[in-house]
Homo-oligomer: A and B are copies of this chain.
Amino acid sequence: MPKINPSIDSVGGFQVAGVHAGLKKDGAKDFTLIVSGTDCVCAGVFTRNKVKAAPVLLDMERLAQNPTIIRAVATNSACANACTGSVGLENARATADLAADALAIDAEQVLVMSTGVIGAHLPMDKIGRGLRLSRGDLGSDWRAAAAGIMTTDTRPKLGSIRVDTAAGSYTIAGIAKGAGMIAPDMATMLSVLVTDAQLSLPDAQAALSSASQQSYNRIVVDGDTSTNDTVLLLANGHSGVEISDDAALREFQAALNALTQYLAQEVVRDGEGVTKFVTLDIINAESEAAAEQIGQTIGASVLTKSAFYGSDANWGRIVAAAGRAGAAFEPDGSSLWVAAGEALPQGQRGLQIFSGGMPTDYQEADAAAIMNEPSITFTLDCGLGGGCATIWTCDISHEYISINGDYRS
């Protein structure tokens, strides 16, 4: 497996820009434009929240109609354009129209994304300025592009992976934003992935859906599913490498999985007020879905997250959360381990703290030493079947409450 590069040099045929259009009060970048010189096949995964933001509704419509002619994605931060009704939908369309004018393409070739405060209308004058500025700034500054979509994120999230094949090399690159309102339900944030490989639309959609399921859908910051979650994959074929046979598709899928998991973990690491990165390995659950459900319930529990924050090995809360997850769970047949770090070597689980329905005779000081680490892994063996899932989550801190008690001011 090729390694993830935590930056993006360039991706054949794509140009990007991230600028300050005036939506953020502090002068930070708040508008991002991603453009392909040629038509892209575009796959998308969107929030399952019944309250879908206007840009989500517009993109779903575009991808249902013309998913193979996409040329640009225009994204603003600081305003989600959600809960904005017909006015919001008009503004989303107007954004695409302005982008099409600026780039001399058709409006149907433009997708839009928004993130930020819910319930405010898009300031269209600033959107217009963002388009003018970013068109003049198009190039390969992907870090600026990743910065333009940030809200409470403290750093841009970007990465790329280069795959060398007998037919040539191609790159998959992506940016993402997260920070809050992060809970798994199809997509859980904004992310744009681009590749210069050539894929059919069904293959691109299948690869994106599968990768999202194993990455963005397996992270929890706070249990709230956003109105704006969108993950897009644009493929323009610029490298000339065609991904169509099974072996090539498997290789592409593996690379896309690695990249999306990297970006998803970056979202957790930079979650609002996060001080600890926690990996939940749920093994031997009744099914993979059950393992995922148990891990997500543990990851969303504020009691559990508070204990992570306090470096308290209060494992009873983990077992209690597993018990209310709605999946089959039998405490007497379950075991729980805790270890420092992440991505533990195969077969290593660390300190066993719970077994046969009751605590082991572990020493509290040993558990406390592990809990004090910035990265912790819990392995929960459900003893029921062969279902496994890894969920990446974090603690909840005073800082989270401060950020979200005062978000709009």
Question: Contact at B303–A51, with CB atoms within 8 Å?
Answer: no
- Of the listed stretches A5-13, A103-111, A128-136, A354-362, chain B binds A354-362
Asked if residues A324 and B185 are in contact (CB atoms below 8 Å), the reply is yes
Q: Indicate if the CB atoms of B354 and A303 lie closer than 8 Å.
A: no
Residue of B nearest to A80 (CB): B316
Residues of B near A306 (CB, < 8 A) are 400-401, 403-405, 407
With the chains together, A203 CA to B356 CA distance in Å? 39
For A340-365 the 0/1 string (1 means CB < 8 A from B) is 00000000000000101111000000
Give the nearest-CB partner of A398 in chain B.
Answer: B398
A residues 393-409 touching B (CB-CB < 8 Å): 396-398, 400-409
CB pair B83 A359 closer than 8 Å: yes
Using CB atoms, name the residue of chain B closest to A120: B359
Among A194-202, A217-225, A257-265, the stretch in contact with B: A217-225
Q: Is the CB of A397 within 8 A of B404?
A: no
A320 touches B358 (CB 8 A): no
Interface bits A298-330 vs B (CB < 8 Å: 1, else 0): 001111101101111011110111111000111
Also in contact, A118 and B319, with CB within 8 A (given A222-B302, A314-B407, A324-B185): yes
Residue numbers in B under 8 Å from A329 (CB-CB): 50-51
Surface stretch bound by B, among A32-40, A84-92, A161-169, A241-249: A84-92
Q: Contact check: which of B331, B357, B398 meets A50 at CB < 8 Å?
A: B331
Question: Whole-angstrom distance from the CB of A302 to the nearest CB of chain B?
Answer: 5
A386 at the interface (CB under 8 A from B): no
Q: A51–B320 contact, CB under 8 A?
A: yes
* Given A83-B331, A222-B302, A354-B83; A324-B49 close (CB under 8 Å): yes
Q: A309 touching B405 by the CB < 8 A rule?
A: yes
The complex places the Cα of A243 from the Cα of B51 at a distance, in Å, of: 48
- Judge if A101 is at the interface, Cβ distance under 8 Å: no
User: When chains A and B are docked, how far (Å) is the Cα of A192 from the Cα of B310?
Assistant: 33
Let me know if A119 is at the binding interface, CB within 8 A. yes
Q: How far is the CA of A181 from the CA of B316 in the complex (A)?
A: 12
A124 to B391, CA, bound (A): 39
User: Is A404 touching B357 in the complex (CB atoms < 8 A)?
Assistant: no
Q: What distance in Å separates the Cβ of A279 from its nearest Cβ neighbour in chain B?
A: 20
Cα distance, A119 to B407, chains bound together (Å):
37
Task: Please state if A225 and B314 are interface contacts (CB–CB under 8 Å).
Answer: no
Q: A329-B50, A396-B401 are in contact. Are A86 and B302 (CB under 8 A)?
A: no
Measured between beta carbons, the chain B residues less than 8 angstroms from A311 are 405
Contact with B along A366-409 (1 / 0, CB 8 A): 00000000000000000000000000000011101111111111
User: Chain A interface (Cβ within 8 Å of chain B)?
Assistant: 48-52, 80, 82-88, 117-121, 180-181, 183, 185, 222-227, 300-304, 306-307, 309-312, 314-317, 319-324, 328-332, 354, 356-359, 396-398, 400-409
